[in-house]
Amino acid sequence: MKEEDENRYRNVEMLLEREAEKILKHIKDGQYVVVFDIKGTQLSSEEFAELLNRKVSKGEEIVFVIGGSNGISDAIKKRANLLISFSKLTFPHQLFRVLVYEQIYRGFTIIKGIKYHK
């Protein structure tokens, strides 16, 4: 989903609230929601792979939520099953998507024992 144009809002709270409304519309009951947040838990690639393996083997749908440059609303964090931090650094939204895709790919190569990881 495209980030909101922050120039359209009087303050960051209003922006985050609008983004939360749009995001929450796409999350269904029963889905396992992982939110990437700077204050989340840091996982190794192996730990991330184990998370993927546990959820996929149970047939659970995993939803990944990436916040914008202003962070993510408390409403989204409350809906999350897990908060993950990749780093204390801030990344451009589009670049971070690629990092998440790569970690998902890496996770499945770890699960399958493919020599991509190391």
Q: Establish whether 108 is an annotated binding residue.
A: no
Give the other-Cβ count within 10 Å of 20's Cβ.
20
Q: Is 71 marked within a binding site?
A: no
Rounded CA separation 23/64 (Å): 11
Q: Is 88 annotated as a binding residue?
A: yes
CB atoms within 10 A of CB 13: 12
* Residue 87, marked binder: yes
Is 109 annotated to bind ligand? no
Q: Are 38 and 85 in contact (CB under 8 A)?
A: yes
Q: Answer yes or no: is 91 a known binding residue.
A: yes
- Residue 90 annotated in ligand binding: yes
Residues flagged as binding site: 67, 86-91
Residues flagged as binding site for S-adenosyl-L-methionine: 67, 86-91
